[in-house]
Structure formats: structure tokens, C-alpha cells
Amino acid sequence: MHSSRLIPDDRKLIQIADSAFADAARRSGEWLVCRPGCTQCCVGVFAINQLDALRLQRGLRKLENNDPARAERIKQRTRSSTSRLSKDFPGDSTTGMLDESGEGKLRFAEFGNDEPCPVLDPLTGTCDLYESRPMTCRVFGPPVRSEEGLGACELCYHGATDEEIISCEIRPDPDDLESILVEELESTTGKKGHTTVAYALALHPE
């Protein structure tokens, strides 16, 4: 399957995740303080999968056609970011692929924690590729369950009890559609593993 055929299924995944976020936001009410200009979750490097990377690349290419000046600013910030990060990159800085061994994950935990996302517009505090943002960004804020338990944005749910927080839990992909799409994409392209937003845009043009 060519990666372009994943577009309809990726749109389905996005619709599921965005709908789940909207439902969690409704249940959360004023406890969820996420808003344009709040950029705490946009600072600090995080891992993205190959489907996230492909979505970002396509989003940038679309922006090049619709708003070339904004696209160029993203490219400039991306070049600056990869330049700063390349020295201590916990993986292969020539391919942008992260080292997913135990040691690599330990290095990544201490890596780039003060680095702003290159698609964050520092003047407006908004995302220049918002429609193409990774799944992590789409569900951040409400309580999300992981191996470590239930975690939410530290700026949200002040004054809420544990039971109230649990009642706002988001379930962004109950059928694990994302894993299916990632596996299909990786088998098609041969690119496997995780990268970061900056390296996805700088080193992985479609």
C-alpha cells in the first residue's frame, strides 16, 4: 500500500481523537484551561511516530502552497532547532531516528527539555501546523491513562478531586487504529521507529 492511501484512515483517526478530546473537554468544563497562547506543552522535545511525521510533512507542503512566508519561517526554526539539538541527539542525527534502547530512552528523557517546537509561532503562541499536529498534541490536557497511571496537564484540574479527574479521562483511540496505520506505513516505506517534530520536517521530506 502506498502511503498516500493512508490519508482516509488517518483522517478517521484524527476525527476519533478530536471527538474524544471534545467530549473530555465538555466533561472537564473550567478545569481544562487549554487555550491559544498557552504554550507550556509546546516546549520540550517529544517523540513522534512515522504517521505523525508524514502528517506534518504533508501539512508543511500544503502550507508552502497556501502561505509560503509562514512555511519558510517554520523551515528556518526547524533548521535552528536541529542545529541546536544535533550534538546531543539520542539517536542517529543524520536520519533523525531515535535510539529506542534502554540507554537511548534514558538519554532522551534528559534531552531538549527547553527546546520549543519549531512549528510554534513565538509571536502568536499558536501552532503553524495545527491541523497536522501529532496525536500527542491532539489529546494533551485532559487525563490520559498510561503505564504510569492517569496524567493530565499540570496547569489543569486545579481544585478537582481524584474522582472528578478520573471522570474526565480521555480515550482517544479505543480500537488502537493508530498502531495499525503506523505498522502499515512502516512496512510500506521501510522507515521504522520514532523521530521528533524538528527532524521529521528537516530530514524526512516525503
pLDDT digits (tens, 9 = 90+) for 6-29: 677 899 999 999 999 999 999 999
Would you say 165 and 48 are in contact if contact means Cβ atoms under 8 Å apart? no
Among 126, 158, 165, 164, smallest CA distance to 142 is for: 165
Percent of the chain at pLDDT above 70?
96
pLDDT in tens, 43-70: 999 999 999 999 999 999 999 999 999 9
Identify the band that residue 146 occupies on the pLDDT scale cut at 50, 70 and 90: confident
pLDDT in tens, 184-199: 999 998 989 999 999 9
User: Counting beta carbons within 10 angstroms of the beta carbon of residue 103, is it exposed (0 to 12), middle (13 to 18) or buried (19 or more)?
Assistant: exposed
**Is the pLDDT reported for residue 125 higher than 80?**
yes
Residue-level pLDDT at 195: 97
* CA–CA distance, 19 with 22 (Å, rounded to integer): 5
| Residue 119, CA distances (Å) to 3, 58, 96, 177 in order | 23, 13, 17, 26
Give the angle subtended at the CA of 17 by the CAs of 96 and 148, to the nearest 5°.
70
Identify the band that residue 203 occupies on the pLDDT scale cut at 50, 70 and 90: confident
